[in-house]
Structure 1
Amino acid sequence: MGGQVKPCLVLVFTFFLLVLASAVSTNRIKFLKQIREVNRRGPYIGLITVFATEEDAFFASGSFKPDPKYPFIDLSGRRFRIGQVRGREVVYVRCGIGTINAVAATQQMLDVFHMKGIIHFGIAGNTNNSMSIGDVTIPKQVAHTGIWDWVNPNSTVDPADVAQLDIGNYNVAKRNGTNLLGHIGYNKEQFYSVSGEPNVAERLVWAEITPHWLRLASSLEGIKLEQCVNSSLCLPEKPKLVVGLRASTANIFVDNAAYRDFLLQEFGVSSADMESAAVVMTSLSNGFPVIVIRGLSDLAGNQQGDNAWIKFGSLAALNSVKVVLGFISNLPHTTTATS
């Protein structure tokens, strides 16, 4: 009896697998058909934000017009929204916090959709005392400041490090000058791109924003930005747009005045965030134009009391959206990935 049941179970299991494979194959074919149809409407401008506050500001602007047939396509847990902004075809996605999420979402967008280039926007911490909360920065260069060699106090310094952070320098009580946390050496990034040799990395610190997009952004410096969150909460000065500074990215939420000052002194950056360098390097690696637009929501730890992004995050996000919309309006309809 047992010998007869076993072949039956094998047949049932095999039939189940065939049905499952057929369903998966059918869904795959349907998905690929959708992508083909969507891409006929391209090429698209890619819009990438990070979290809900930035997304809310973008959709609250009322500028996004969803595609009536394919308003979105879901990929690996992310929703890529297809539509138009200011008459331009766009694909929008909220990537999630951190460099890994930023890389994954950007690469998915570039792999699946017919793209022109990427606009990455949202909020950031302000590390430059000449800038203010509510200002918007469009950097010309972005560094990934999250590649560390964390070494012991008496270890030999790597001459290839681009900067050194000696933690002992920040002791309140020196304790004979010894700090067991040692020091951190900052490494260069390994950058692979379609324009380089296969499997050969370029060593770089600064990823360059696409020059012709940066020049186009310079024409927006007179744009009017919002000063008030509401009738009872306003900034002391009118925010401004600044183009051409430097930005840093690491998987670190910077809310520490000493580290903020270190980033400014050693790298000369005016903003700190957790995604921009990842989006920029992924876009450039694939040969696509890219620009970063970030509203400054806080002083990255240089403020008194709680981090100011709780109060001004929505305002900073709104101002970044206003600049994004202005930039999209100025983009030539003929912009291509190689122009």
Structure 2
Amino acid sequence: MRSLLFALLMLFALPAQSAERLDPTPRIAVISAFAPEWVKLKAAASDARSFDVNGIEFVTATLAGRKVVLFLSGISMVNATMATQIALDRFDITGIVFSGIAGGVDPALHIGDVVVAEQWAQYLEATFARDLGGGKYALPPWKKPEQPNYGMIFPGSVEVRRAGLKQPEEKFWFAADAGMLAAARRLHDVPLAHCTAANVCLDKKPRLLVGGNGVSGQAFVDNADFRRYVFASFKAQVLDMESAAVAMVAYTNGAPFIAFRSLSDLAGGESGGNEMAIFMALASDNSASVVQRFLSVWQPLR
């Protein structure tokens, strides 16, 4: 009995072991939120091999001449955070590239456009303030307004921990990698679809735009008034449900990050109903086309 007890004590005293690497090759993580966004990427990849971790399929492959690991984050911030950290723990990641769809909030942009934001923030990392009536709200005494509010919603920074910091830091914006952005700005003449498979065509031919801001949150936004608020308050071009979470994980792990988001809808800015169901496949393909060209241009540091 004593020897058994001693063995158990020694077992619990052992330090936690890091997750085992599934593949030793340095690879670029290429992430999509849900299946329609990665069909084109998987179809274009070669030398594919699949791994399953916690029910997530990770596919190592060669894409546009680069060694990559493709996977679906799942929709929303928590799923994106979890899946990205698993990839960083289980693979040798040299950079993180997100390819997906989003809602457009800049009135100058149109469905099908591909946006590459310079920085990302979480608009629902927020305090829901006390309603005093008459359009007035009160934050708790320890809170100060950091960003313009939308009614009771007061967005603010998030506490971030990373290696090398003695104390957590407060951050609102998480920047895309400067080298990746420079490579994205060298992309020209990437063919972008402007008609769906059902021959529904856009009024304007899609464009690639590099720069500006993006925001992410746990809500699917289809509201014209909130869209106006996001554009006015954050000078955002695009709104989605994952990119800022992945940007934060990349920052805490010291990994280069960039997101390519093609507009499938206008987040409530359409004159009729939401058009995501009509243009989702077109937008997904446009993002994937730009990502493949990007991979052929950007050179990882190792």
For Structure 1 versus Structure 2, the TM-score category normalised by the shorter chain is 0.7 to 0.9
- Number of the residue aligned with 1:193: 162
- Number of the residue aligned with 2:301: 335
Distance 1:311 1:81 in 2: 28
Amino acid across the alignment from 2:149:
Q
* TM-fit CA distance, 1:187: 1.4
- Number of the residue aligned with 2:146: 161
SS class of match (2:57): strand
Alignment of 1:317-332 (within 5 A): 317-332=284-299
RMSD between aligned residues:
1.9
Q: Deviations over 1:26-78 (max 9, x none)?
A: xxxxx95x82xx21xx100101101111122323xx321134xxx11100110
- Number of the residue aligned with 1:47: 30
Distance 2:254 2:205 in 1: 37
Alignment of 1:182-221 (within 5 A): 183-194=152-163, 196-198=164-166, 200-221=167-188
Choose which of 65, 68, 71 in structure 1 pairs with 2:46.
65
Contact between 1:221 and 1:242, CA under 8 Å: does it hold in 2? no
Are positions 1:286 and 2:267 aligned together? no
Give the TM-score taking structure 2 as reference length: 0.88
Q: Deviations over 1:261-291 (max 9, x none)?
A: 0000111111110000011110111011010
* TM-fit CA distance, 1:160: 3.5
Distance 1:312 1:97 in 2: 18
Amino acid across the alignment from 1:209:
A
- Number of the residue aligned with 1:312: 279
Q: Higher strand share goes to which structure?
A: 2
Distance 2:297 2:171 in 1: 31
Structure index of larger Rg:
1
- Number of the residue aligned with 2:7: none
Identity of aligned residues (%): 32
Alignment of 1:1-339 (within 5 A): 32=20, 35=22, 38-39=23-24, 42-59=25-42, 62-67=43-48, 71-154=49-132, 155-157=137-139, 158-166=143-151, 183-194=152-163, 196-198=164-166, 200-230=167-197, 232-332=199-299, 335-336=301-302
Q: Deviations over 1:178-224 (max 9, x none)?
A: xxxxx221111222223x414x2211211100001100100114322
Q: Deviations over 1:85-124 (max 9, x none)?
A: 0221111110101111001011000111111111011000
Contact between 2:38 and 2:288, CA under 8 Å: does it hold in 1? no
SS class of match (1:114): strand
* TM-fit CA distance, 1:231: 6.0
Give the TM-score taking structure 1 as reference length: 0.78
Find runs of 4+ consecutive structure 1 residues off by over 6 angstroms. Answer: none
Amino acid across the alignment from 1:192:
R
